[in-house]
Chain A
Amino acid sequence: MNGEMSVIVRTITRFVYGLIVVFGFYVIMHGHLTPGGGFQGGAVVATAFALLIVAFGAAGLKGKLNDHLLQSLEEVGALAFLVLGFIGIGTAFFYNIIANSGAVFGSPTPIGPNPGFLNTGGTLPWMNWAVGLKVMTGLASVVLVMLVGAREEEET
């Protein structure tokens, strides 16, 4: 096996993984308007990471995608979700304090039928980003740890 796969797989991976990452970020970004959200978009981005890991091997990605970085980012996602839950604690846990406040994702929502506006939703889109970060790095680190563990066992 020795790390990377054939040149066909590596070329197709270079073409495709950027598109998959952009689609995953789109699903996370529009989580409060369209189907999907943090978990689904994070899983889509994690498949792009899994494609990179399987195509280039753990050795081909050395330094760019190590499991230490991925696990740190996973903890950042979890902590960001908790902080977002706690910023409305003056009223209630998970209170939506950003909605209609004019901050990012905080513009007032118009009443009545409308196509859906991206800059609304309050804390919900921020929580989608936190969950998306946690899911994409968590699932990528699962695949990476699996591959690195298999390699170490092979060498000994």
Chain B
Amino acid sequence: MTAQAVIQVFILVLILAGGILAVWLRDLLAAVIALAGASLLVSLEFYILQAPDVAIAEAGIGAALTTAIYVIALRRTRRKEKE
């Protein structure tokens, strides 16, 4: 495998780990942060696949704006998920 393929597989594994963490964590604020991290890694993957256009949109909306909206919503509701 070339170096670029190794980097891509590494990033995809990290995206998968972020998604699994977002579902598995009971602390909803931590789950939102995990989702933001996965979104940022998706944006990096878009950049590596030579789509900088989509990468900018994904970093702006996926990583920043949805995280802000989730955090504002979490302030009004419970932080811990019910067992």
Residues in chain A within 8 A of chain B (CB atoms): 1, 27, 35-37, 39-40, 43-44, 46-47, 50-51, 53-54, 139, 142-143, 146-147, 150, 153-154
B contact residues, range: 10 to 19
A50 touches B68 (CB 8 A): yes
Question: Which A residues are CB-close (under 8 A) to B7?
Answer: none
Interface of B is mostly: helix
A interface, over-half SS: helix
**Chain A contacts for B20, CB-based, 8 A:** none
Please measure, in the bound complex, the distance between the C-alpha atom of A147 and the C-alpha atom of B60, giving whole angstroms.
Answer: 19
Contacts of A147 in B (CB 8 A): 72
| A150 near B76: Cβ-Cβ < 8 Å | yes
Q: List 7 additional contacts besides A35-B53, A46-B65, A54-B68; criterion CB under 8 Å.
A: A36-B53, A43-B65, A44-B56, A54-B71, A143-B68, A146-B69, A150-B73
A148 to B64, CA, bound (A): 19
What are the residues of chain B within 8 A of A153 when measuring CB–CB?
76
Cα of A69 to Cα of B75 in the assembled complex, Å? 26
Q: What is the CB-to-nearest-CB distance from A17 to chain B, in angstroms, rounded to a whole number?
A: 12
Contact indicator A146/B72 (Cβ below 8 Å): yes
| B contact residues around A40 at 8 Å (CB) | 53, 56-57, 60
A2 CB to closest chain B CB (Å) equals 11
